[in-house]
């Protein structure tokens, strides 16, 4: 990435270095008991360290006044949805009163517990000096991680005792697909499909899996290499009776695979084909208010007619879609801005307006701080590897939400063409607005 462009980005977003400097990993966590909690489920007791001693706790320090905090809230909701059943407790703490944070949570459909700390007693005890700050407390009551919402997921999974190695998870998913065992597929492929990102060095993984770094001596090279498409071909041949097919696919990835590859786009599509959404599973998502996941299931998991019908009739889902359809379209546009400018090393014509519109919440760089490896948008990580899928997924959400908000059954068969058309039009609009920069 151009030095000037990267410098301007890092000046505008938090890098996590100032988060809660008073805390050290391994220290006993201070008490997080508060006078006021809200968004508790019916019958749920107010959280205390004693009640949660067998769970991993994510304390998310945030505020409605903090734009990066607000943009990160969908990420926090996603962590709550996916990892609650594994033993994660999410507590979002603000110094604002309950009558401010409770309506915010209701408006946006957030279901995790929120705490009010107007005296800043807990905030100061945890040494919070940057917003947002994410603190992970292990089951032993000790600090396991201090950072931000854009780097907290691996720390949570480690604290929960879940496998965190991307290479191990990816190989397990391929083995599960090859076995054709539905339970294994749901467990191992589904684990990746539910994640925000699973990044790894695909070239190194392919070599370690038996691929020849020189391409097997074939001399063949793709003109326009598509890592996700080529990995999908490998997945199809992973359990093939003819080992030559698997070897050829591995050799190609070993020769040309990118050092930074996100396996989640592939996993979501593969999981959707292998494990179609059922009516009971969809009903459970709606009951838990996991609406974004339900919308994604309509697009990615081959829903039968009764699922589509139930989505069309659900009033709460309709209301949510009416509020969020425009946001999904905005996220798609931000993804295109990353794809066509930020990740393409292009300077926008009106740089100040570009950054104001993109409005990232965080950035990740290489260890030498010279290469941008991803940014946190309002609804997840965008990276050079996954940004195309990020745009596609959010445009699909927008179309589905617009139909459901109007009480209409979405036309699933034509949605791919609508996504392509809208993306092309959006790209032209962005090019006219920002495309004459150096």
**pTM for the predicted model, two decimal places:** 0.85
- Bridge partners of 146, per DSSP, are 135
Topology given in CATH for the domain delimited by 15-160: Glutaredoxin (3.40.30)
Integer Cα distance of 363 and 6 in angstroms? 10
Integer Cα distance of 247 and 2 in angstroms? 37
User: Exposure pattern of 310-334 as b/e (b: 16+ CB <10 Å)?
Assistant: bbbebeebbebbeebbebbbbbbbb
In Å, what is the CA distance from 14 to each residue of 11, 98, 176, 373, 376?
A: 8, 27, 39, 15, 11
Integer Cα distance of 420 and 154 in angstroms? 33
List every span in the chain annotated with CATH 3.40.30.10.
15-160
Integer Cα distance of 227 and 138 in angstroms? 36
306, 304, 324, 326: which is closest to 314 by C-alpha? 306
Integer Cα distance of 39 and 76 in angstroms? 14
Integer Cα distance of 97 and 46 in angstroms? 16
Element housing 90 (H / E): strand 88-94
- Reading the chain (438 residues) residue by residue, the pLDDT tens digits are 444 555 555 554 444 444 555 678 999 999 999 989 999 988 999 999 999 999 999 999 999 999 889 988 988 999 999 999 999 999 999 999 999 999 999 988 899 999 999 999 999 999 998 999 999 999 999 999 999 887 899 999 999 999 999 999 999 999 999 999 999 999 999 999 998 889 999 999 999 999 997 755 444 545 578 899 999 999 999 998 889 999 999 999 999 999 889 999 999 999 999 999 999 999 999 998 899 999 999 999 999 999 999 999 999 999 999 999 999 999 999 999 999 999 998 999 999 999 999 988 777 777 777 777 888 887 778 888 899 999 999 999 999 999 999 999 998 999 999 999 999 999 999 999 999 765
Helix/strand/coil for 146: strand
Helix/strand/coil for 369: coil
Taking phi first (over 0 means left), then psi (-120 to 50 degrees means alpha), and beta for anything else, what does residue 20 get? left
Confirm if 415 and 396 have CB atoms less than 8 A apart: yes
> What pLDDT, in 10s, does the model give residues 7-33?
555 554 444 444 555 678 999 999 999
Confirm if 137 and 56 have CB atoms less than 8 A apart: yes
Is residue 108 classed exposed, middle or buried when 0-12, 13-18 and 19+ CB atoms within 10 A define those classes?
middle
Taking phi first (over 0 means left), then psi (-120 to 50 degrees means alpha), and beta for anything else, what does residue 215 get? left
């Amino acid at each position: 990435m151009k030095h000037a462009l990267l410098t301007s980005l890092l000046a505008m977003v938090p890098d996590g270095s100032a988060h809660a400097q008073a805390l050290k990993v391994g220290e006993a966590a201070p008490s997080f008991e508060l006078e006021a909690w809200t968004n508790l489920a019916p019958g749920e007791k107010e959280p205390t360290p004693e009640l949660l001693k067998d769970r991993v706790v994510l304390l998310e320090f945030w505020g409605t006044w903090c734009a990066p905090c607000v943009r990160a809230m969908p990420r926090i909701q996603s962590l709550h949805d996916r990892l609650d059943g594994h033993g994660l407790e999410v507590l979002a703490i603000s110094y604002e009163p309950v009558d401010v944070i409770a309506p915010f949570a209701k408006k946006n459909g957030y279901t995790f517990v929120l705490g009010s700390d107007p005296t800043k007693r807990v905030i100061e005890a945890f040494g919070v000096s940057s917003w947002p700050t994410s603190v992970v407390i292990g089951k032993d009551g000790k600090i396991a991680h201090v950072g931000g919402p854009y780097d907290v997921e691996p720390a949570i999974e480690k604290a929960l005792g879940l496998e965190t190695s991307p290479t191990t998870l990816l190989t397990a998913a391929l083995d599960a697909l090859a076995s054709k065992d539905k339970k294994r597929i749901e467990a191992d492929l589904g684990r990746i499909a539910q994640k925000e990102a699973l990044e790894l060095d695909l070239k190194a993984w392919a070599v370690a899996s038996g691929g020849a770094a020189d391409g097997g001596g074939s001399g063949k090279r793709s003109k326009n290499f598509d890592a996700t498409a080529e990995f999908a071909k490998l997945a199809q041949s992973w359990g093939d009776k003819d080992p030559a097919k698997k070897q050829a696919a591995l050799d190609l990835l070993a020769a040309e695979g990118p050092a930074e590859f996100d396996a989640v786009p592939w996993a979501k599509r593969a999981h959707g084909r292998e494990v179609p959404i059922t009516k009971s599973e969809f009903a459970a998502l709606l009951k838990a208010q996991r609406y974004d996941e339900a919308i994604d299931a309509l697009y990615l998991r081959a829903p039968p007619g009764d699922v589509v019908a139930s989505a069309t009739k659900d009033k709460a889902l309709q209301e949510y879609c009416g509020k969020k359809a425009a946001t999904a379209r905005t996220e798609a546009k931000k993804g295109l801005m990353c794809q066509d400018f930020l990740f393409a090393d292009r300077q926008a014509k009106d740089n100040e307006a570009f950054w104001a519109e993109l409005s990232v919440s965080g950035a990740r760089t290489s260890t030498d701080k010279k290469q941008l490896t991803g940014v946190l948008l309002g609804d997840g990580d965008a990276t050079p590897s996954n940004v195309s899928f990020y745009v596609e997924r959010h445009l699909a959400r927008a179309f589905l939400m617009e139909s459901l908000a109007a009480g209409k059954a979405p036309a699933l068969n034509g949605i791919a063409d609508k996504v392509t058309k809208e993306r092309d039009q959006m790209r032209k609009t962005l090019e006219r607005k920002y495309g004459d920069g150096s």
